[in-house]
A and B are shown apart, each in its own frame.
Chain A
Amino acid sequence: MPSEKDADYLALAARHRPPAPTWSNAVRAFAIGGAICMVGQLVTDFFIAHGNSPGQAASPTAVVMVGLGALFTGLGLYDRVVKCGGMGGSLPISGFSNAMVAPAMEYRREGWVLGVGAKLFAVAGPVLAYGLGAAFVVGLARLLVGS
């Protein structure tokens, strides 16, 4: 229930707020996200060249990209990738890895159970909860509509 006075103030304040650099962010997200996907493609090609079908290559590729995300998080570099690339760094599976490994590193000092165990999903939890929820709804719809 903001009063009229508050609304006037917030309008005044908004005039002094620097705009978010939307365009340069978009360009950097494109470049960083594209670069990560290119690495993913190279990894996929590697597995295909070693006797896997494209379908079979998907799983080991995800494992490698998650591993790379974890490695770069551990080296203290992945947060810089996302700082620069925004969603271009967060959205690929390596970004998901960052969201899991960062809390694991962070809460190690609070112990294995109440630290790492309890807070491992502090950042990625919502993605898992709603991702699994959405998958369930879509799967149910497909079952009902029939394929």
Chain B
Amino acid sequence: MSSGHAPTSTRQFQNVAVVGHHAAGGRREAAGPLGGNLDQVWEDDLAGEATWEAAEAKMAVHVLGGAAEGGGWQLADVDVVLGGDLLDQLVSTNFAGRQHRRPTLGVFSACATFAEAVGLAGVWCELGSARVLAGAWSHHLAVERQFRFPIEFGYQRSPTASWTATAAGALAITQGAGPVRLRAFTVGRVVDPGSTDPMDMGTAMAPAAWDSLQRHLEAVGETWSAYDRVFTGDLGMVGSAILCDLAHDGHFGRVHDDCGRSLYRPDQDVHNGGSGTGCVAAVVASHVLPHLEDGRWHRVLVAATGALFSPTSYQQGESIPAVAHVIELEAGR
């Protein structure tokens, strides 16, 4: 019955570079281990705006501008902006487009959005000369009120709950050479292990991460020893432990790290660690790329994970499906 077509969701790039990056975070993120690496810290939750949603859009505009500048570009020279957030109808991404005025494509894979945007930017740039900005952003308070409770309502968070980061990151991606090369992109499958607890996304997302990582490895014909680090998105403490258990591979355990775990110290009262579309984006822009640029790391995988649920879906008793998209980054010459 086979048609002879061997399906693959991996694209390998020969000629795509990351030439600029910019990361921003709020006060709590600035107090975390990567605080010193952030290009910009937003001390004020409202960032001078009237609403948290507007503050998130402002953060998006600033990191996009910063990434363009990092690549030595004028914002006006950018061909396309790819980005996404967690708010309904991607308002902050599209409202940011209203300000920066560059052609904009909003993308969504929950907290895997950043890898989706960067991967698509790779596909775009591999096809021809282009200057593309790819990024993701999230604001803790804007997301909290949409997914959970009003901010001043008191409740106890479960020990497995993640903390949605107030963070943003954007990359300037182009065809050609640069300090860091974007080598490959694997689109993830939607995996649903049947978890129903929205306060435990690590459990919901770990199988998706493992599925995509294995498929990526197979597609590019590598082993874990080829990589200095394999970052997952926001699996946090619980999800990372589950993933390493699933992998059952000592070498994977040694190279694995997690963006949600990297953004905060354990004593910052974030329970399972960071999450949110901006978490992976800020960690890649402030931590992973500098390591590749100065040669401390040579080759890194980032498997951003997203829990694809909505308040409506889990209230209706649906389990939580998840997806992980993988991007592969390599130090340039």
Q: How many residues of B contact A (CB 8 A)?
A: 30
- A6-B194, A9-B193, A10-B194 known; A17-B160 Cβ under 8 A: yes
| Stretch of A45-53, A95-103, A128-136 lying at the B interface | A95-103
* A12 to B319 CA separation, bound complex (whole angstroms): 17
**One of A6, A82, A102 near B150 (C-beta < 8 A):** A102
Say yes or no: B159 contacts A18, CB within 8 Å. Answer: yes
* A15 to B145 CA separation, bound complex (whole angstroms): 31
Say yes or no: A78 contacts B200, CB within 8 Å. Answer: no
Say yes or no: A16 contacts B154, CB within 8 Å. Answer: no
Q: Which residues of B contact A2 (CB under 8 A)?
A: 194, 319
* A106 to B122 CA separation, bound complex (whole angstroms): 40
* A60 to B158 CA separation, bound complex (whole angstroms): 36
A-contact 0/1 string along B69-84, CB 8 Å cutoff? 0000000000000000
A-contact 0/1 string along B138-166, CB 8 Å cutoff? 00000001000111111111111000000
Q: Return the chain B residue nearest A81 by Cβ.
A: B154
Say yes or no: B245 contacts A102, CB within 8 Å. Answer: no
5 residue pairs A–B, Cβ–Cβ below 8 Å: A3-B194, A13-B193, A18-B160, A74-B152, A79-B151
A→B interface (CB under 8 Å): 2-3, 6-7, 9-10, 12-13, 15-21, 25, 73-74, 76, 78-83, 86, 89-90, 95, 98-99, 101-103, 105-107, 109, 122-123
B→A interface (CB under 8 Å): 50-51, 145, 149-160, 193-195, 200, 202-203, 206-207, 237-238, 241-242, 245-246, 319
